[in-house]
Structure formats: C-alpha cells, structure tokens
Amino acid sequence: MKILVLIGSPRKANTYHTVQKIEQYHKQISDCEYEYLFLKDINLGLCKGCFTCIAKGEENCPLKDDRDWIVQKIKTADGVILASPNYAANVPWLMKNYIDRFAYTLHRPKYFNQKFMLLITSGSFMGVKSAMKALSIMVSGGNVINRLSVLNSPQMNDKKQKIQEEKIKKNTEKFAKLMNKKKSSKPTFSYLIWFSAFKAASEINKNSLPADYQYYKNKDYFINCKLNIFQRIVIKISTNFFRFMVRKGLV
Ligand SMILES: Cc1cc2nc3c(=O)[nH]c(=O)nc-3n(C[C@H](O)[C@H](O)[C@H](O)COP(=O)(O)O)c2cc1C
C-alpha cells in the first residue's frame, strides 16, 4: 500500500516527526510504504492570481512547474496524508500557495477515488479548526477518512504526552482500517448541491468560465455513477434554484 505524504511546513520538524509516528504505527498494522513530498523542496511557483486555471482550464496556467506531477502522485497513491502546522490560526504560506494553485479543483473536483488523512500540528488549540478547514478544501471530491490534530506544546506533561500518543495511534489504526476498505464515491447530499450550483453557474457564465462549461455540460453528476431517483430530484431542483439565483445576481 502506497501512502503519499504532502508536508506544508517550511521545516522538517514537528509536522514531519508526527507523520513519522503515524508511519511507524501504520507499519505495525499493515504492509505500507510512505513517500514524503515537502512543499518547501518542490518546484511549485507562487500563484499569480490570473484566474486562468479557473476560467480557461488548468492546462493554460502560465506557471510551468511540478503541479501536474503532484496531481499524478496523488492519483496513483493508495492514500494521501495532507500534513501542515498551524501558523497564526491557518496553514503556513507554502500550504496556502498549494491550495491557491489547486483552486480550480473547487470548480472541477478531481480526487473522487482517493482517500485522505488530514493532519494539523499546533502549539495550542488556537486556530486548529480554521487550519483544518483550510486543509479540507484541498480534498476536492475525495474521501476524508481521518482528521487528526496534534499538539506540540512544551507545557505538555508526561500524562498529556501519553494521551496524545494514544490519540495518534488510534487515529492511525482507524486510517489503516479504512484504507483497506473498498473506495467509495457515494454522491452525498452536499456533493449533489455542489454539483448543481456549479453546473447552473457554468451555463450562465459560459463565456467567462468556458472550462467549467465544458466540464459540466454533458454531466449528470461529477463522476459516472448510477444516481437514484431521490438524488436526481435533488440535482434537478437545486440546479433550477441556482439558475434562478445566479440570473438574479443573488449568488
Ligand atoms: C509563525 C508561527 C505561527 C504559529 N501560530 C500558531 C497559532 O496560531 N496557534 C497555535 O496553536 N500554534 C501556533 N504555532 C505553533 C506551531 O503550530 C507548532 O509548533 C507546530 O507544531 C509547528 O510545526 P512545524 O515544526 O512542522 O513547523 C505557530 C508557529 C509559528 C512558527
């Protein structure tokens, strides 16, 4: 089993050491291989904010670097750990730049068959929630099978350290267990709404967002799957609702 780890810390320290613990526990349970990608060492240019990837398609991004190589790595791994520290109640700039560079996947999600574990390391509880939320955006259609936040405070006594160690172990066991389950891409209610909103917007903004229009125009849902009658009704009603809202300029 191949696990890809994407680390958003500008240094090889707490976040890396926490993932090493996860790797160690994981290897005690199942046969797995970890590959580490440090954003600090990867050639991923700074997003220029030109909007080209979103409007005209990611293939037209003016930055020619390792972005598509990362996409390939994510797609071919059996599971992905997105790991980042919490800096000032958010992810640090390296991870934020990664999020911005992949912003087009919010319009056209990509990773429906992938499984993710999200890890935030932090000095306290301050800002963990918002950092985790930022990381969640990057999953883009994939299945989050585990969310873990870990404290690295110097004030942690032995008892707290032990509890924390147990937490990392338990989460790793859960991650390992779910990794072995068959990948599922069930259209959840929120994904049906997401699909409807973007499909409606892509029709109305087809000249300004041609890449979205091409992506959605012949799709009943993000991926090819059998939708039940309830799911079809949800898509129909909410697409009409969003058409109305977009036309009226209300969204
Ligand atoms: C610039 C900076 C800002 C930070 N901001 C926060 C914060 O808002 N909340 C918090 O709990 N910890 C904060 N921390 C502590 C880190 O989240 C914590 O030490 C983390 O484990 C560092 O991981 P790293 O060694 O991989 O960089 C901050 C650390 C730095 C360097």
Q: Which residue from 15, 21, 41, 86 has its CB within 8 A of the most atoms of ligand 1, so it is best to mutate?
A: 86
How many angstroms does the Cα of residue 67 sit away from the middle of ligand 1? 26
Torsion sign over Cα 228, 229, 230, 232: positive
Residue-level pLDDT at 143: 86
- For ligand 1, atom 9, name the residue with the nearest CA: 126
Two tokens at 212?
Answer: 């979205």
Q: How many Å apart are CA 247 and CA 55, to the nearest integer?
A: 19
Q: Give the residue-averaged pLDDT of 86-102.
A: 97
pLDDT band at 250 (very low <50, low <70, confident <90, very high): confident
- For ligand 1, atom 19, name the residue with the nearest CA: 123
User: To 10 degrees, what angle do helices 229-247 and 189-204 make?
Assistant: 40
Helix, strand, or coil (residue 120): strand
Mean pLDDT of the chain: 94
* Ligand 1 close to Cβ of residue 13 (< 6 A): yes
Residue that is written with structure tokens 């090889």 in the block: 12
Residues 121, 161, 10: CA angle, nearest 5 degrees? 25
Whole-prediction pTM: 0.94
- For ligand 1, atom 4, name the residue with the nearest CA: 87
pLDDT digits (tens, 9 = 90+) for 38-91: 999 999 999 999 999 999 999 999 999 999 999 999 999 999 999 999 999 999
Residue-level pLDDT at 110: 87
Q: How many Å apart are CA 140 and CA 103, to the nearest integer?
A: 9
Residue-level pLDDT at 183: 64
Of 136, 137, 160, the closest CA to residue 146 belongs to 136
Residues 201, 57, 193: CA angle, nearest 5 degrees? 30
C-beta separation of 44 from 115 below 8 A: no
* Atom number of ligand 1 nearest to Cα 10: 27
pLDDT digits (tens, 9 = 90+) for 162-188: 999 999 999 999 999 988 887 666 788
Q: Give the residue-averaged pLDDT of 242-250.
A: 91
